Amino acid sequence: MKRLFAAIKVIPDENFLKSYESLRHALQLEKISWVKPENFHMTLKFLGKTPDEKLPAIQTALQKAASQTPPFSMNMEGTGIFGSSYNPRVIWFGVNDDIAIRMLGEAVLNELHTAGFPRDRQNFVPHLTIGRMKKIEHKKMFQEAIAVHRHDFLQEITVEKIILYESLLKPAGVVYRSITEFPLGK
């Protein structure tokens, strides 16, 4: 059994890291589990614990989805939360409403659904999780910090492939290992 997910790797540039570090600094009094920059990715589908024998079906589905979408660029911008403003669970960086990433996300969900991995109840929302929290102590300060970064332009990213990752839980933190890469448009 492997803990698997399909994603787009995001390699942050200087501007991206500036916004990320500014937000971390503004929220340093909170207990937030921050995603390390080397682990930044945009999840297309979380598969969870998956038996090894299902790997070929996943790879075939991701290859089909990748072949349906040519490489594209998208603008990473905006900061938001999942959960309510008084009980946030996740801090994310977003994507300017880009049709190409939504089409890729839908293709991945559809192909994996056909391969026996049911779609989630929610629609695909392109985002990059940067932090997770259980409880916020200084709610007003938290809301103000998010508001300051709400419209930040982070960077333009060229998307050329989907990566199937294995998530390994290690004592020092999570490690993502690339299993297979699927070039777009091929």
Which residues have a catalytic role annotated?
41, 127
Strands (E), 66-132: 72-84, 87-95, 127-132
Q: What is the DSSP letter of 37?
A: G
C-alpha distances (whole Å) from 181 to each of 49, 59, 66, 80, 145 are: 19, 9, 10, 29, 36
CA distance 159 to 148: 28
The DSSP H or E segment spanning 113 is: helix 99-114
